[in-house]
Amino acid sequence: MPLTYRQPGVVLTDRHFTVPLDHDDPAGETIELYGREVVASDKAGQDLPWLVYLQGGPGFGAHRFVGRQSWLDRALKEFRVLLLDQRGTGHSTPANRQTLPLRGGPAEQADYLALFRADAIVRDCEEIRPQVTGGAPWTVLGQSFGGFCTVHYLSTAPEGLTAAVITGGLPSLDAHADDVYRAAYPRIERKVTAHYARYPQDVERARQIAEYVLRHQPVLPSGYRLTVEAFQSLGIVLGGSEGSHRLHYLLEHAFVRTPQGPVLSDAFQEQVQGLLSYAGHPLYALVHEAIYGQDERPTAWSAERVRADFPQFDAAKTLAGDGPLLFTGETIHPWMFDCDPALRPLRETAALLAARTDWQPLYDPARLASNEVPVAAAVYHDDMYVDTAHSLETARAVRGLRTWVTDEFEHDGVRAGGPRVLDRLLAMTRDDV
């Protein structure tokens, strides 16, 4: 029997599902999925429609709420909610440096991980939907990469959907990873420039830290090798609503005086390794560029190659002059598999995924052009993680899709905005606004 328990204002039920590893081989190997069912305490006995939440990432389990936090409060007013841990994440069958050797060597691991993209996630949803809803369609809320999955859902199984809500996650239908990162680096630079405008004292602080790291190449307590490129990658936080402030507070106490002179403080190192480590979400690093693979062209470490076209991000050149150091953002690089002890055993596996040339298309433009599912999407102006121009182009390609373009929020608007964002988007799917 499923385990049911309570938190303030909600009743929770642990749901476990068995699905094919490869949906094209339904009689073959299986994996386990986990989902947390959430219903308002005062509606626990009611027959309610379902909403399934697809987390951003890739590689993150569904958010662990306490009670009716954030958007969940709005959803629980009318839905039962399934917080799904997508395959390989959270409490579902894990995929990490500890478990992947069970598959065999790097080649076998890469073949396994090729089955962890949006297409498989949507087929998982359709596999479990009859068990959850009795066969009725459900509403999907896709955040970031969860929105990519939602557009695939609309492309392949719209009959499973009552409505679709997307927040910060309208992907390009045909862009190669190179196109994604050519659009990304200028956005990242704008976010860094805005950060320094808010906190001008961080210009010198960032340079001092980078110069120290370049000279000393410190190893953090976890075994993470802190390079100047790794330090720059802390800029990934700048895409969130509180990211600029978080980065500022991190930089302001980087050094401590010792008998040997200034060194990076233990507190700084502890926070940095928590931000940089992929131990809790290795799939993010392993399959991040693969989510853009749709043809016979390899992704081939796209973010690393494209970065060479933007020399302003070269820390060594910056430090040789007097300009501000640029942080980077949502990009995955081969050096991460050297720096991070959670990724080192998987470097060859990652390289094989980067070289892969048999990716299948993820979106069906013709089917999207005839879409009949009510869809609403929040598009965040100058979103650091998902290109606004790509999102709006896709919005125009999906019949009936309504957009809410706003600069009130950053990429995490559905969380930071509380119930407000979800409430507006649900109303848009019903033509109530």
Active site residues: 144, 358, 411
Residue 109: partners with Cβ closer than 8 Å, 6 or more residues away: 100, 101, 103, 346, 349, 352
Nearest one of 389, 393, 396 to 375, comparing CA atoms: 396
Cα→Cα distances 89→159, 172, 347, Å: 26, 24, 19
Give the integer Cα–Cα distance in Å for 140 and 426.
Answer: 11
Give the integer Cα–Cα distance in Å for 233 and 210.
Answer: 12
Question: Residue 100: CA atoms inside 13 Å, Cβ hemisphere, count?
Answer: 26
Give the integer Cα–Cα distance in Å for 78 and 86.
Answer: 24
- Give, as one character, the DSSP assignment of residue 239: G
Write the single-letter amino acid at 104. G
Interhelix angle 243-251/266-276, nearest 10 degrees: 150
Q: Which helix (H) or strand (E) holds 404?
A: strand 402-406
Give the integer Cα–Cα distance in Å for 294 and 175.
Answer: 9
Give the integer Cα–Cα distance in Å for 243 and 47.
Answer: 40
Residues linked to residue 403 through DSSP beta bridges, in sequence order: 377
